[in-house]
Structure 1
Amino acid sequence: METYPSELLLILFVAMLAPLLVELPNSFRMPVVALEVILGMLIGPHVFNLTSPDGMISTLGELGLTFLLFMVGLEIDFSKIRGKPLSLAVGGWCLSLSLAFVCMLFFQSIELIESPPLLAAVALSTTALGVLSPILRDRGELNSKFGTYMIAAAAVGEFGPLLVISMLLIPTHSTFIHTLFMVIFIIIAFATAYISLNTRSLRLIEMMTRTMQSSGQLPVRICILLQILFVALAAKFGLNIVMGAFTAGIVVGLATKGKEGELLRHKLDAIGYGFLIPIFFIVAGMNFEISALWSAPLAPVQVALLLGLMLFIRGVSLFLYRKELTPEEQMPFAFYSATGLPLILIISEIGVSSGLIPPDRAAILVSAGMISVLLFPILAVKLRGKFTLPW
């Protein structure tokens, strides 16, 4: 236990340093989450070996991941993304998943990429909503038309793969029992949302408002309890805990929408983006094995190929957005959509633990996901307004 305070001090120093470095005057401003990952790589065991992502540090990183997805669910405004943004997002992701499955069947047949086609296809068709949401927030684009379509595409690119891996890839029971558990989980989520939306007596609201300004902080504690409850339920039902955190965020977001919940959202925002979420990105960087990029003769080629596939697979959905996005917005949209890491990490862990993916192949897949987080958002910002597609 004696080593944890110094390691945690270093990680929190890095978390404080990242937004400071981003604010330095220069010609280009790197997304803060990308800088957090880079700094995590530098202090991690694979570069300078100043700290290691285990024990309490690992636990804080997992809490950061669940809180990140909780905040993402909280921030989704369904009144904005419903209709055309959501329908295009579903169509685009289904198109991406189908194309990814065909591509992975081909590359497996020529033994260039050896991974189960469905597992690899789901990984390559993901979009890191939790990574993109803070980037769009910082750039002031979250509530723009571009941001609305991007958030819808990213939400489906996160939730769709979650459903696939929960239903098909990690069932811990028979298909019928697993499906039953999924239905029960959804019913509980809807019931909780209904109770939250309709239990708004004047006395209850007054109590919530009063304790919000006291040491009790009852509304904040209820939200955190709800998050842990849904994470625990998801784990108990054999689903992924990320789905539990995401669902809890959606429930809290529905219950706190409007000006009445603004203060509560600010407090949750401070807990997440001020403490736990930066730790997740830093720990993700610490876990990145840079040596995986040259672990085998074909490893660099495979990583580059996977990066190209991610951009191609998620970028193909641009055909559906030709009338909705301006020519200057389409390439940034493709790069943002191809950014993926959290679910790639989860899918890789599932593949390794189940024996479906060898550890070295999983490292290559994670390497591609990590580089996408570092590179694609930067390219999206750089290309904004400077490059247009020929149609």
Structure 2
Amino acid sequence: MNLQSYIPDTLIFLGAAILVVTLVKRVLKSPFLGYLLAGLLIGPFGLNIIKEVSQTRHLAEFGVVFLLFTIGLELSWERLVSLRRYVFGLGASQVFITSTVIALIVNFGFNLPLEASIIIGAGLSLSSTAVVVQILSERGDLACRYGRVSFSILLFQDLAVVLFLVLVNLLAHEEGEISTRQLLIALGVSVIKGIVVLVAIGFLGRVLLRPVYRFVATTKNSELFVAMTLLLILFTGYATNYAGLSMELGAFLAGLLLAETEYRHQVESDIHPFRGLLLGLFFMSMGMGIDVRLLWDNLLVISGLLMSLLFGKFLIVFLLSKFFKLWWSTSLRIGLLLSAGGEFAFVLFSPSAASNLFPPNVVPILYLIVAISMALTPLLGYLGKLLSNFVSPFEPKNNAITIQEETRDLTSHVVIVGFGRIGNIIARLLNDQMIPFVAIDMNMARVSEGRKLNLPVFFGDARRAEIFHAIGVGRAKAVVLTLDQPGTVSRAVMTLKRNFPKIPIFVRAHDNEHAEKLKKAGAVVVVPEMLEPSLQLGSQILLLTGIAKDQVNKSVETLRNKISEQAPSLPVEIKDDLKLL
């Protein structure tokens, strides 16, 4: 087949993606749901414009490979450690219990084979990382407690996908039905083989990766740098696939190897267009497999299954959240936000269907249930917010209890003292980089405003050591003081140094004399006032948390431009600062 024969299909894909995704994103805020709908419209069960789906799916599978690589790239050891209680506690419990319950129901209730039941349970236990993280990011909720816990659960789900893909690959190569004992033995052998391959690749990566990337970087050729990353992804993917594992596992490992290097953020920036385009193609190919006519023919059955999935997952996540001593308002929001299915269900179901692990009539129903539940995720998140607002007035009002309850899981976070103009800017910078923070202020109006935005802002006196103990300064990465009362700032610095001598303290000073006093009191970095220095102060905090300098500069520049656009509604002093830039 010559090149020109591909052009009409390519034009249809691109045209449908641009039109449908643009319209859907205005309503549902998620481009991935738009890609699903676009694939549905042009596919054999829609307008039947694209009749052959198999060739598209082979290319689209690379979207999943790049997605797993990106997930590995974002998994820094420090982030896992700071969220370990909810990642490996709540997240692991949710995946294990949900997948087990669903697998048992499918196996005994619907009389499906054991291997099909296990894969269905695994796929439906997962939520949509792409949709949920986007909702949390757009609402600025990643910094608040329900956002952190939701992100932690999603983080473990992403890790679990790697094991599930190995399991699917294993079951696909087994002929006939297998017993539980055979399955466990085969899985154990596969895990041992996988560990050997992963250790070998990990060792070679540790030894060779930095020198090779350093050599490529010295050429100052961006095309070679991108080519090197593509080579790494495809090579590790091929190596794990050759060993009988999945390509996605190799890509995930490649991301993990790069996550601790100084090239991480440049690689992430370079790979983003490939990942977005191929992942969009993956969602479109999945959308092409959704049979809407099946929904109308079996409306009651599919609706019942959908509601059972949403309620069942909500109940499990809610009860687990309560078991981990989260408040009712927080547990309700987490449970509803994570009750829907996710994109990794398609990743698991597609190869399983191709290997005939599922009965032919099951896959279209699963696709429908997952797709509809994903489309409902924004609505479920809004419902969780309403229920949370209804319940929260009945929860404890003691400020000390509230602070300890909401911050006890925080480690390596940033403490912001003063949530005025500069404190707000620093909080936004930290939130954009998904760095946990907690803020205190004596101004109740500022505290109330922050709480309305679901930010971890509390009423507290910075001169008292008790408040710093309550917000976990001993576990924090740094403290930044943005108060505009010189006396209070000096006393706060002395209190911090007396009780937490090793904590880095960042302060803004009114003048040179005040700056000298603060340095003598123990402050690490002291910067003067005005808007631009406040951005510099925020960038210093980001650098301390381990964010690469180019990524910090990009984040600061984005926020500076956003503030400039909002200038007409800002206070006079900020407008004056902007005129100086």
TM-score, normalising length from structure 2?
0.56
Deviation digits for residues 137-185 of structure 1 (CA, Å, limit 9, x no counterpart): 5555567665543333112113224314525872548736423321122
- The one-letter code of the counterpart of 1:156 is F
Offset of residue 88 of structure 1: 1.8
| Number of residue pairs matched by the alignment | 373
Give 1:98's aligned residue: 97
Contact 1:162 1:243 in 2 (8 A): yes
CA distance in 2, matches of 1:95, 1:340: 17
Q: Which runs of 5+ in 1 are unaligned?
A: none
CA distance in 1, matches of 2:250, 2:294: 31
Give 2:46's aligned residue: 47
Deviation digits for residues 99-119 of structure 1 (CA, Å, limit 9, x no counterpart): 5424542464344x7453433
CA distance in 2, matches of 1:336, 1:139: 13
Contact 1:303 1:367 in 2 (8 A): no
CA distance in 1, matches of 2:103, 2:341: 17
In structure 2, the residue corresponding to 1:88 is in which secondary structure? helix
Offset of residue 247 of structure 1: 2.2
Give 2:125's aligned residue: 125
Offset of residue 227 of structure 1: 0.9
Deviation digits for residues 57-100 of structure 1 (CA, Å, limit 9, x no counterpart): 223311222112222222333312324x2332222244332354
Give 2:237's aligned residue: 231
Shift in CA distance, 195/16, structure 1 to aligned 2, threshold 3 Å: farther
CA distance in 1, matches of 2:121, 2:100: 5
Shift in CA distance, 62/108, structure 1 to aligned 2, threshold 3 Å: closer
CA distance in 1, matches of 2:260, 2:311: 37
Contact 1:114 1:361 in 2 (8 A): no
Shift in CA distance, 64/353, structure 1 to aligned 2, threshold 3 Å: closer
Give 2:273's aligned residue: 270
Query: Is residue 183 of structure 1 aligned with residue 195 of structure 2?
Result: yes
- The one-letter code of the counterpart of 1:195 is V
CA distance in 1, matches of 2:97, 2:75: 26
Offset of residue 222 of structure 1: 1.3
CA distance in 2, matches of 1:169, 1:63: 16
Match of 1:218 among 224, 229, 232: 224
The answer to which structure, 1 or 2, has the higher relative contact order (CA under 8 A, 6+ apart) is 1
CA distance in 1, matches of 2:46, 2:215: 53
Deviation digits for residues 251-302 of structure 1 (CA, Å, limit 9, x no counterpart): 233324xxx54343222123322x2222222222122222333555744433
Contact 1:65 1:280 in 2 (8 A): yes
Q: Which runs of 5+ in 2 are unaligned?
A: 175-184, 396-581
- The one-letter code of the counterpart of 1:319 is K
Give 1:347's aligned residue: 348
Contact 2:342 2:370 in 1 (8 A): yes
Contact 1:315 1:338 in 2 (8 A): no
CA distance in 2, matches of 1:279, 1:159: 23
Mapping of 1:72-151 within 5 angstroms?
Answer: 72-83=71-82, 85-96=83-94, 97-106=96-105, 108-111=107-110, 114=112, 116=114, 117-134=117-134, 136=136, 147-151=147-151
In structure 1, the residue corresponding to 2:385 is in which secondary structure? coil
CA distance in 2, matches of 1:356, 1:236: 22
Report which of the two structures shows the higher radius of gyration computed on alpha carbons: 2
Identity, % of aligned pairs? 20
Contact 1:22 1:31 in 2 (8 A): yes
Give 2:31's aligned residue: 32
Shift in CA distance, 61/206, structure 1 to aligned 2, threshold 3 Å: closer
Give 1:205's aligned residue: 214
Contact 1:220 1:267 in 2 (8 A): yes
Moved more, 99-108 or 184-193: 99-108
CA distance in 2, matches of 1:168, 1:40: 25
In structure 1, the residue corresponding to 2:386 is in which secondary structure? coil
Shift in CA distance, 340/179, structure 1 to aligned 2, threshold 3 Å: same
Shift in CA distance, 19/99, structure 1 to aligned 2, threshold 3 Å: closer
Query: Is residue 293 of structure 1 aligned with residue 305 of structure 2?
Result: no
CA distance in 1, matches of 2:283, 2:35: 6
Shift in CA distance, 362/249, structure 1 to aligned 2, threshold 3 Å: same
Query: Is residue 60 of structure 1 aligned with residue 59 of structure 2?
Result: yes
Moved more, 229-238 or 100-109: 100-109
Instruction: Calculate the aligned-residue CA RMSD, in Å.
Output: 3.4
